[in-house]
Amino acid sequence: DAGVIQSPRHEVTEMGQEVTLRCKPISGHDYLFWYRQTMMRGLELLIYFNNNVPIDDSGMPEDRFSAKMPNASFSTLKIQPSEPRDSAVYFCASQLGWDTQYFGPGTRLTVL
Amino acid sequence: KNQVEQSPQSLIILEGKNCTLQCNYTVSPFSNLRWYKQDTGRGPVSLTIMTFSENTKSNGRYTATLDADTKQSSLHITASQLSDSASYICVVSHGGEDMRFGAGTRLTVKP
């Protein structure tokens, strides 16, 4: 398996624009997580899914953020409208049951 | 106050030496504790996962210990290598996948 795949790897956009981050989890994994990492706040869990169903979205900072998982092999994290304080590295991770969690390479988002 | 405290914040050691990183938590109830290694510019990589009943778990030169009574965990690295230079993050879960993250320890191994 190629591991968790994220796209794009880098995204530069202007304030107010919509940003969509994409994730393909490892095949067969039933959990998918979205994280955000900044120097100031470290690693933060935004939302996670179990069998494509959102379980806990309490980490989503505000209504500008939304995440979907239409099927077992694809998830999106959308920010609309984006703001400079959203600049961070966004990681997607997947796991099977309570086993090891595998992270993707991350998407580095810069909002100007 | 963060429910997961890691120490030291940063550490510099010479190649070949051993080191121990600490993680103290107040998360309750406790489900599991994970140690991750994160190289600069990369995603975190899982090193160990420990549940309440496990005291020690090893992964190569990495050995994690857990004392659920005192709510302390340590990550011991034996015979350090230059490639061990990274950030090490402790993550404690309570109730499902509700997680609390430590700020990490930045380890630098010098030749």
How does pLDDT run across B92-109, given as a tens digit for each residue?
987 666 788 999 999 999
pLDDT at B1 over 60: no
Contacts of B97 in chain A (CB under 8 A): 31, 33, 45, 48, 55-56
Of the candidates B34, B44, B97, which has its C-beta nearest A48's C-beta?
B97
What is the average per-residue pLDDT within B47-72? 93
B46 and A CB contact within 8 Å: yes
Q: What is the pLDDT of residue B67?
A: 94
B9 and A CB contact within 8 Å: no
Mean per-residue pLDDT over chain A, rounded: 93
pLDDT digits (tens, 9 = 90+) for A46-89: 999 999 999 888 889 889 999 999 999 999 999 999 999 999 99
Confidence bin at A41 (pLDDT 50/70/90): confident
Ranges assigned E (strand) in B1-111 = 4-7, 10-14, 19-25, 32-38, 45-51, 56-59, 62-67, 72-77, 86-93, 99-101, 105-110
Confidence bin at B25 (pLDDT 50/70/90): very high
Determine whether the interchain pair B49/A99 forms a contact, defined as Cβ–Cβ distance below 8 Å.
yes
Q: Of A11-20, A88-97, B3-12, B28-37, where does mean pLDDT reach its minimum?
A: B28-37
Would you say A75 and A69 are in contact if contact means Cβ atoms under 8 Å apart? yes
Q: Which residues contact B72 (CB under 8 A, 6 or more apart)?
A: B22, B23, B24, B25, B66
- Alpha-carbon distance B78 to B106, whole Å? 16
Parallel, antiparallel, or unpaired: how do β-strands B105-110 and B10-14 relate?
parallel
Q: What percent of chain A has a predicted confidence (pLDDT) above 90?
A: 81
Q: Which residues of A15-43 are buried (b: 16+ CB within 10 A; e: fewer)?
A: eeeebebbbbbbeebebbbbbbbeeeebb
B40 and A CB contact within 8 Å: no
Task: Identify the bridge partners of residue B22 per DSSP, sorted by sequence position.
Answer: B7, B74
CA B109 to chain A, closest CA, distance in angstroms equals 21
Confidence bin at B77 (pLDDT 50/70/90): very high
* Tokens 């591991």, residue located: A3
Determine whether the interchain pair A101/B42 forms a contact, defined as Cβ–Cβ distance below 8 Å.
no
Contacts of A45 in chain B (CB under 8 A): 97, 99, 101
Q: What is the pLDDT of residue B2?
A: 61
What is the average per-residue pLDDT within B30-55? 90
Q: What percent of chain A has a predicted confidence (pLDDT) above 70?
A: 99
A59 and B CB contact within 8 Å: no
